[in-house]
Amino acid sequence: MEKTSTDTLPLTMISSEERETICIFGTGDMGRSLGLRMLQCGYSIVFGSRTPRMSSLLPKGADVLSYSEAAQKSDTIIIAIHREHYDFLTALTEVLQGKILVDVSNNLKVNQYPESNAEYLAQLVPGAHVVKAFNTLSAWALQSGALDASRQVFVCGNDNKAKQKVMDIAHTLGLTPLDQGALRAAKEIENYPLQLFPMWKVPFYLSACLCVFFFIYCVIREVIYSYVNDKKDITFRMAVSIPNRVCPMVALILLAVVYLPGVIAAILQLYRGTKYRRFPDWLDRWMLCRKQLGLLGLGFAFLHVLYTLVIPIRYYVRWRLGNATATQAITKKENPFSTSTAWLNDSYISLGILGFFFFVLLGITSLPSVSNSVNWREFRFVQSKLGYLTLILCTAHTLIYGGKRFLSPSSLRWYLPSTHIIALIIPCTVLVIKFILILPCIDKVLTWIRQGWERSSKSSESAMNGKTDI
Ligand SMILES: NC(=O)C1=CN([C@@H]2O[C@H](COP(=O)(O)OP(=O)(O)OC[C@H]3O[C@@H](n4cnc5c(N)ncnc54)[C@H](OP(=O)(O)O)[C@@H]3O)[C@@H](O)[C@H]2O)C=CC1
Ligand SMILES: [Cu+2]
């Protein structure tokens, strides 16, 4: 696919094409950043200000005039002013008659005012064509050029010509305008930047719940159990040992949860015998936050690595080692070397290192700047094939670590199995189902379905009616 030149526009590039003049009201952060970007793209800029004098902060080449003088210089005026100060615009209604006013404002809270800022502006200046745009950008990103993940600009307005003009400007600035319809959509567009990490909410709550669950589970099974049964106080384990058990378990489960919706979707398609029926909403939403689940999982894996690296410098570990050596010296009994233990130990460490390496690789390739530079097939290869390899390595790492301990009846304490067994349920389920799905006889049917084949004639009809059939 060919990229437009504005897609990768460096900040210092000056377009040779001479474009029209655009007026910006307000010489604050947002006004200056938009102005700079527009100048670089070849527009002439005139700022409207209460105190019209050139300052070193303003981009070179721009003019600064009073609000009413500046408004006369252009048909397109960007209002880079906070909503609270809009009232002075009523005095300018005459000058603003028939002009395009671009509202870029945001609020501090969701639904702060009964009407959106853009609709409020339209009420204040009824003769102008108000268009909402650019509010999802940040002044900082505009200046630093760090717009990789956020080139999208939502645009809405009642006048189609005005809206198209603003979308053209956004295009020229190297942004991706998305038409959201009439000005009524402005409220939603204004609420959008106020949402705190919308895609991160579910992954975040899920990992928090998993952490709390595993932590309490470990405390009961290890600390409280030891205290009640052996009268031993090992509460200090809550600082490093137990977190180092919780982190890998949560990381492994989150990684498995990334691949679980994929296998559920495949089972649904096989069961329905068609791909032309919508997945349930929860599955769609789950699929959409897989990247966030994976990145959080990577975070926990990283913590696990750190906790593991500090083991040798811990007082408790040094004390135990020293004690064991002293006991051997006193009793003159040597602990014999066990090759099988050495093998098990080294293999689980090695599997862990490899698993972590591929996990990091997965995380890096999911970053927008990297995923933009690989094609769809490469991205699928990394996220699917390498993803499953990571899951296999991490599951094997946990299985070998638990080893024989899992199955011995002594590992049950108060009928509670080891945390490893619980943590392995989802990853093993995903891997087993995936293994069944890639068996040639099943894989063949699934591939047909994904290419549009349908099992029954009844569903063929629905295929012709489109994807929305339930
Ligand atoms: N900063 C950002 O990253 C983003 C900002 N926005 C929106 O852009 C708009 C401007 O934001 P920002 O540039 O950060 O704000 P600033 O406070 O930095 O600038 C606002 C400007 O408004 C002008 N202004 C006009 N009338 C008044 C008044 N009565 N009191 C104070 N200032 C007045 C001033 O310009 P002068 O002194 O020249 O008259 C001032 O510089 C806001 O609506 C904001 O929500 C949207 C997205 C991102
Ligand atoms: Cu580990």
183 lines ligand 1 (CB under 6 A): no
Where is average pLDDT lowest: 83-97, 145-159, 278-292? 145-159
Looking from the CA of 423 toward its CB, the CA atoms found within 13 Å total 32
> Token pair for residue 73?
């210089």
End-to-end alpha-carbon separation of the chain, Å? 35
**Whose C-alpha lies nearest to ligand 1, atom 40?**
28
Q: pLDDT confidence of 407, banded at 50, 70, 90? A: low
Q: Which has the closest alpha carbon to 77: 127, 154, 131?
A: 131
pLDDT in tens, 13-28: 444 566 889 999 999 9
Compute, in angstroms, the gap from residue 155 CA to the centroid of ligand 1: 20
Question: Does residue 260 have a pLDDT over 70?
Answer: yes
Q: pLDDT confidence of 230, banded at 50, 70, 90? A: confident
Q: Which atom in ligand 1 lies closest to the alpha carbon of residue 140?
A: 3
ipTM of the shown complex: 0.95
Strands 100-103 and 129-132 come out as parallel
Burial class (CB in 10 A: 0-12, 13-18, 19+), 383: buried
135 lines ligand 1 (CB under 6 A): yes
Query: What pLDDT, on the 0 to 100 scale, is given for residue 466?
Result: 42
Contacts of 413 (CB under 8 A, 6+ apart): 221, 222, 225
Q: pLDDT confidence of 117, banded at 50, 70, 90? A: very high
- Whether residue 256 contacts residue 391, with contact meaning beta carbons closer than 8 Å, is answered with yes
Determine the Cα–Cα distance for residues 17 and 42; give it in Å rounded to an integer: 6
Task: Tell me the β-bridge partners of 103.
Answer: 79, 132
Determine the Cα–Cα distance for residues 155 and 98; give it in Å rounded to an integer: 19
Can you give 125-139 as a three-state secondary structure string?
A: CCCCEEEECCCCCCH
- Whether residue 249 contacts residue 268, with contact meaning beta carbons closer than 8 Å, is answered with no
Share of the chain above pLDDT 70, in %: 89
Query: How large is the angle between the packed helices 243-272 and 419-437, nearest 10 degrees?
Result: 30
3-state secondary structure of 252: helix
Contacts of 100 (CB under 8 A, 6+ apart): 75, 76, 77, 128, 129, 131, 159, 162, 165, 166
| Sign of CA pseudo-dihedral 84, 85, 90, 94 | negative
Strands 129-132 and 63-66 come out as unpaired
Compute, in angstroms, the gap from residue 359 CA to the centroid of ligand 2: 13
Q: pLDDT confidence of 402, banded at 50, 70, 90? A: confident
Question: Does residue 197 have a pLDDT over 80?
Answer: no
- Complete DSSP assignment for 114-177: SS-HHHHHHHHSTTSEEEE-STTS-HHHHHHT--TT--EEEEEES-HHHHHHHHHHHHHTT-EE
- Report phi then psi at 434, rounded to 5: -60, -40
Whole-prediction pTM = 0.65
Compute, in angstroms, the gap from residue 217 CA to the centroid of ligand 2: 18
Position with higher pLDDT, 254 vs 5? 254
**Whose C-alpha lies nearest to ligand 1, atom 46?**
135
Averaged confidence pLDDT in the chain? 85
Question: Does residue 235 have a pLDDT over 50?
Answer: yes
Burial class (CB in 10 A: 0-12, 13-18, 19+), 387: buried
Contacts of 198 (CB under 8 A, 6+ apart): none
3-state secondary structure of 270: helix
Compute, in angstroms, the gap from residue 404 CA to the centroid of ligand 2: 16
415: left (phi over 0), alpha (psi -120 to 50) or beta: left
Compute, in angstroms, the gap from residue 368 CA to the centroid of ligand 2: 28
231: left (phi over 0), alpha (psi -120 to 50) or beta: left
Position with higher pLDDT, 401 vs 462? 401
104 lines ligand 1 (CB under 6 A): yes
Instruction: Tell me where in the chain the CATH 3.40.50.720 domain(s) lie.
Output: 5-194
Query: What pLDDT, on the 0 to 100 scale, is given for residue 14?
Result: 45
CA distances from 264 to 114, 429, 431, 433 (A): 43, 11, 12, 9
**Ligand 1: which of 29, 34, 88 to mutate, judged by most atoms within 8 Å of the beta carbon?**
29
**Is the CATH number of domain 5-194 3.40.50.720?**
yes
The single-letter code of the amino acid at 316 is Y
**DSSP H or E stretch at residue 468:** none
50 lines ligand 1 (CB under 6 A): yes
3-state secondary structure of 45: strand
Q: Which atom in ligand 1 lies closest to the alpha carbon of residue 141?
A: 3
Query: What pLDDT, on the 0 to 100 scale, is given for residue 147?
Result: 60
81 lines ligand 1 (CB under 6 A): yes
